[in-house]
Structure 1
């Protein structure tokens, strides 16, 4: 059995958990608090970041994008019509473009701020950056999420799924990041019904169930968080 070192509200970890579930894999989960820089974890991934997938062979695969590529290379062909990275070159480029959009751009403009300020800082000591949230960062993230939501709505106005006709890594990455923001109640769903309908389709999938069961100690999710019909 593979092992996934993750943090429950790390959106990159959530993305990999969704991917593994869609592939029918059930890894052992080891929760990490990256800011604690646990020695045993640093031996696996010197960068000290989540997620890291460790195969039974001992091979450690760090980082959401690298894990996604690795899983496609090692398991993708066996998924037949359920492959999450398409076969065609043009289609693969589009999935990778959107994967970068959500894992990098959305994270740096939205999720990184909100998860750090509203969740992580609650459990961090002052020596490693804990303390009260930076409201300027939160306001910036709340403003930024609006145009990302509009972009999702634009894509879904022309496609069945974000990158084309089939569910791909792009959908899972976007949904993983939005799930963190949605837990906090900071997604303005009433501003784009098309994006809202797409997210409802993704979070209704069996692979999403475990994520919807996650909770931050002492912080309840938004009322609609686990409601498949909003």
Structure 2
């Protein structure tokens, strides 16, 4: 059975889990505490980050972008990168937005400072960074809301990796209670559609020691 090394609160791991589930590809998971820097794991991924996907044939793929690109090439029946050249360009742009800009401006300031820093033993949260994360969240939710209002899905007419990437990042923050869904109703409605998909259900059952998700986290009707 293929194996995904992951961390429950890693949005990049969550993106790959959603992609595998949307493609109905069976897999097992193993939590990898990257701060322990296991030698066996370093030999698979010298960057010592999650996720890493290990196929049955021994092929090992590190980095969520590389994994998702591989999955779309190896298992093309449910395309997640778009069907036309223009669609693929837009999907990749938005995935880069969420994995890069959103993660840097929101995720690192909230998820990392409030949760991962503690797990990794890297000191106390930075209050200035946390305030910046909350301030940056509003325009990102407004952008997601605008995309959801003007398109059937974030990147166009069909569900793509752009939706999975955005939902992965938001779901990690929703788990920790750091999302104010009153900031944008359109973003909330789009996320409710994502949360109702069968691929999302395993994420809604995640539990992390020391963190209690809000009551609405696993509620499909919010």
| Normalised-by-shorter TM-score class | over 0.9
Of residues 121, 125, 129 in structure 2, which corresponds to 1:133? 125
| Equivalent position of 2:206 in the other structure | 214
Which 4+ stretches in 1 moved above 2 angstroms? Answer: 121-125
Which residues in structure 2 correspond to 1:72-221 (within 5 Å)?
72-76=72-76, 79=77, 82-125=78-121, 129=122, 131-221=123-213
Aligned length: 222
Q: Helix, strand or coil for the counterpart of 2:156?
A: coil
Task: State TM-score, norm by structure 2.
Answer: 0.97
Q: Distance in 1 between matches of 2:7 and 2:203?
A: 11
Q: Which runs of 5+ in 1 are unaligned?
A: none
| Equivalent position of 2:221 in the other structure | 229
Q: Distance in 1 between matches of 2:13 and 2:213?
A: 18
Task: Tell me by how many angstroms 1:113 deviates.
Answer: 2.5
Q: Is the Cα contact below 8 Å between 1:119 and 1:216 reproduced in 2?
A: no
Deviates more, 1:220-229 or 1:42-51: 220-229
Q: Distance in 2 between matches of 1:117 and 1:6?
A: 19
1:145-172 CA distances to partner (integer Å, 9 max, x unpaired)?
A: 1111000011111100000110000000
Task: Tell me by how many angstroms 1:123 deviates.
Answer: 2.2
Q: Which runs of 5+ in 2 are unaligned?
A: none
Q: Distance in 1 between matches of 2:141 and 2:170?
A: 9
1:6 is aligned to 2:6: yes
Q: Helix, strand or coil for the counterpart of 1:207?
A: helix
User: Please, what is the CA RMSD of the aligned residues?
Assistant: 1.1
Q: Distance in 1 between matches of 2:202 and 2:130?
A: 27
Task: Tell me by how many angstroms 1:112 deviates.
Answer: 2.2
Q: Distance in 2 between matches of 1:27 and 1:46?
A: 23
Q: Distance in 2 between matches of 1:193 and 1:12?
A: 25
Q: Distance in 2 between matches of 1:32 and 1:113?
A: 22
1:83-124 CA distances to partner (integer Å, 9 max, x unpaired)?
A: 211121001000000010011111111112222222122322
